[in-house]
Structure 1
Amino acid sequence: MAIFGALMAGLTCYSLSESITIYEFKASIMKMKPKFIVCPNRYLDAIVNEKDNFTFIKTMMTMLETVNGPNHNNIINNNNNIINNSIIKSVEEICLKLSKTTSAVVKLPVHTEPDNHVTYFMSSGTTGQPKAIIRTNKIYLSVIECLIQPNMIPQTSGGQSNDIYLSDSIFHSSGHETLIRAIVMSTPVAVLRSEDSMDDIYQCIHNYRISQAFMTPAYLSYLVKNMDKYTSEYLGSLKCLYVAGDFLNYNIYKSVKQYYNIDNILMVYGMSEMGFICQSPPDIDNNKYRSTVGYVGKVCPNLRIKILNDSGSPLPANSFGKLYVSGLAATLGYLNDPEQTNNLLTNDGYVITGDIGYYDDNHNVYIVGRSKDIIKVYGNNVMPSELENVLSEHRYVMKAAVIGIDDDLLGSVPMAFVTVDDSVSVSEEELMDYVDKRVSDHKRLRGGIKIVDSMPVNHMNKVIKSQLRKLIL
């Protein structure tokens, strides 16, 4: 409601996770300096108790709670310039006041220009400190134009009129992108909360008869290992999955598609600064998927990619290199951060993805890993994603992440972190032997394996590898 209201009024909207701490909330407010805030009551004291630090706030509107706390009652009743001539209100009060207003003060929607800022999103934080990404009217129009193209939103076997879409949390760009998909499809949408567990998600799919959903590979890995709990009948409405955020193991792909009779499992590759970049077509061949690890389909409409070597020269088809992308959906950069914007954009308008990939003779695109994650073992390149894929095939491994650690003889060697099914017993030695028997000598896990209770992840359940080194003791 707040997002669509902001768009109608010509405002710029910035979404935060509803599960952030008070400290994170205050830090974000200080960074973005909003004039108008819509938030749950629990964040109220954080602003009121330090009102001298937040004089830029004009109005706060609290949600989902009645006015029954002592601080809130005092604020509402006294209403004496609490924060820079503002009134802190609840949704109920504002709606009641508006319902008694007969004259329109502002004609909606407010006209804005193509390059006007519409939303700000924080980057995922997997590659450093989160940064505020700028998205404009032009970007959203490009996304809509892309989504109306054939094969971008396949109709399910149940019929499009029966579809209900499950969207990622809307505090991140992927949530907005999937929300737009639902709007373009003219279908109802259920929006996940950032604190929803995997069990919450599958219960939601069952309860609301969800037919299309945006998921990460971790969700599907969990599903495969809990098929006795989540049967094909329990999730019988599910017909189409968009999978993004990490590599999807083929065995998991096959198990989900066959057991749950899914019409389409579409791989999506993207980044917060661009939105969706590539998507696999609905008619992907299972054998093709199996033989091409990292396959993410075709480049989305209105976008262009190029693959360059380390010296910046273009590479032909089937050549591994650094991937760059451009198009109308590209962000203008990071808000109030020209240095990081220069590190993101090239002089000819391409976004530096930081990924290593290639395209084949049929213009299919493949992503093999992050350029900064490549492990140099005695002059040989080792992609962590390959080892993570092997580990994920082990029936007791729930999640795997591989990094390079220093080695006096070889320069660097791979080390793995895994979480395992806590209902079984499996040793680090058993897992290391499992991998070493399946990979070339220079790819062996000479840095070892560490079984951990959990790993640092972002909102898409993607491992923040920069924090893994803290787990090495």
Structure 2
Amino acid sequence: MLSKVECKLIKGDIVCFITNNNDIHAIGLLGVLAAGGVYCSLPRHTTQTEISSNMMTIKPTILIGNSDNFTLLTKMGQQFDCIKTILLLNEFCANKLHIKSQSIERALELIRDNDIELPVMSGLSDMATLVMSSGSSGTPKAIIRTNRNLLAIVAITQHPEICPLRADDIMLSTGFNHMCGQRSLFSSLTSGAQLVVWGDDHSNEAIFDGIHDMNVTNIFTVPTELNFLIKNQHKYNKTYLKTLRDVFCGGAFLSQHIYQQIYLEIIMTVAKM
């Protein structure tokens, strides 16, 4: 992650990413945690009103943006005293804006000063990430995840009877602003598996085409995508997702009827679901 001089990141600082999902974002997430910071993320297409509302809830000290929202985030930095640093995700964004603003990608190429011993030691009860709720029942709320929560999630999902990820497996990750996307990243790293990271702009069709094209073996999905698969099963034969072995579903209750339709009629080769 960025050095103390460049980023002024200190233990407990909240770093909010409002950008697309990619490898630099994943490395930045890990860097924030290694430096003792608190990771938070909002979808790239979050509106100005939503960002402003979330800033009052999150109170971040560092914002990470892209070429689409950097100007807006700069204005946010003038409105909220808690924000001390605004960075771009990568050099592509900086070049697109024709500015020399600091980016996470550029910082990764620099020699880091040894002024901070990494990883920064923190307690199990210390806050590690903030996950914003959907706001379906009102104003979105920041859900705190401690180090203990993250370790427990990884331990549970690495259990051989739940998610036996192996080094030759390929895990599909959703957005890092979702806990399931973060869990996919941590589990893949722990097991040595490969990780497919989807950007923000994707359709249900693209997800299933990606599973087929990239030989994905494990996914963490939501009922919406599974329902899409049922409604459009005529487009997918029973061998289209032949590499898929483990399917995890979260976010809402999955009825027995949907489960049977998917397992028996579509994903015949899935071992566990």
TM-score of the aligned structures, taking structure 1 as reference length: 0.47
1:273-321, CA deviations, whole angstroms, 9 ceiling, x for partnerless residues?
xxxxxxxxxxxxxxxxxxxxxxxxxxxxxxxxxxxxxxxxxxxxxxxxx
1:124-273 equivalence runs, <5 A: 124-154=134-164, 160-258=166-264, 259-266=266-273
Contact 1:256 1:262 (8 Å CA) reproduced: no
Residue 59 of structure 1 is matched in structure 2 by 85
Matched to 1:54, the amino acid is F
Q: C-alpha separation between the residues in 2 aligned to 1:6 and 1:51?
A: 20
Contact 2:167 2:194 (8 Å CA) reproduced: no
The alpha-carbon deviation at position 195 of structure 1 amounts to: 4.0
Contact 1:7 1:13 (8 Å CA) reproduced: yes
Matched to 1:244, the amino acid is G
1:218-244, CA deviations, whole angstroms, 9 ceiling, x for partnerless residues?
212211222332223332211221122
1:62-141 equivalence runs, <5 A: 62-64=88-90, 65-68=92-95, 73=99, 76=100, 88-96=101-109, 98-99=110-111, 103-141=113-151
Matched to 2:270, the amino acid is D
Contact 1:239 1:261 (8 Å CA) reproduced: no
Residue 360 of structure 1 is matched in structure 2 by none
Residue 38 of structure 2 is matched in structure 1 by 12
Residue 67 of structure 1 aligns to a residue whose secondary structure is helix
TM-score of the aligned structures, taking structure 2 as reference length: 0.79
Q: How many residues align?
A: 245
Contact 1:2 1:38 (8 Å CA) reproduced: no
CA RMSD of aligned residues (A): 2.5
Contact 2:173 2:185 (8 Å CA) reproduced: yes
Higher Rg: 1
Q: Which runs of 5+ in 1 are unaligned?
A: 77-87, 267-473
Matched to 2:102, the amino acid is K
The alpha-carbon deviation at position 110 of structure 1 amounts to: 0.8
Q: C-alpha separation between the residues in 2 aligned to 1:139 and 1:164?
A: 24
The alpha-carbon deviation at position 162 of structure 1 amounts to: 2.9
1:455-466 equivalence runs, <5 A: none
Q: C-alpha separation between the residues in 1 aligned to 2:115 and 2:171?
A: 35
Residue 263 of structure 1 aligns to a residue whose secondary structure is coil
- Pick 1 or 2: higher relative contact order, CA cutoff 8 A, min separation 6: 2
Contact 1:179 1:189 (8 Å CA) reproduced: yes
The alpha-carbon deviation at position 34 of structure 1 amounts to: 1.6
Distance 1:92 1:167, change over 3 A: closer
Q: C-alpha separation between the residues in 2 aligned to 1:171 and 1:118?
A: 13
> Which structure's residues are more often helix, by fraction?
2
1:114-162, CA deviations, whole angstroms, 9 ceiling, x for partnerless residues?
211111111232333211111111222222333344412146xxxx343
> Which structure's residues are more often strand, by fraction?
1
Matched to 1:233, the amino acid is T
Matched to 2:244, the amino acid is L
Residue 60 of structure 2 is matched in structure 1 by 34
1:44 aligns with 2:70: yes
Residue 21 of structure 2 is matched in structure 1 by none
Contact 1:170 1:191 (8 Å CA) reproduced: no
Q: C-alpha separation between the residues in 2 aligned to 1:112 and 1:236?
A: 43
1:347-386 equivalence runs, <5 A: none
Contact 1:117 1:136 (8 Å CA) reproduced: yes
Residue 3 of structure 1 is matched in structure 2 by 29
The alpha-carbon deviation at position 204 of structure 1 amounts to: 1.4
Contact 1:19 1:195 (8 Å CA) reproduced: no
Residue 57 of structure 2 aligns to a residue whose secondary structure is helix
Distance 1:3 1:68, change over 3 A: closer
The alpha-carbon deviation at position 25 of structure 1 amounts to: 2.2
Distance 1:250 1:148, change over 3 A: closer
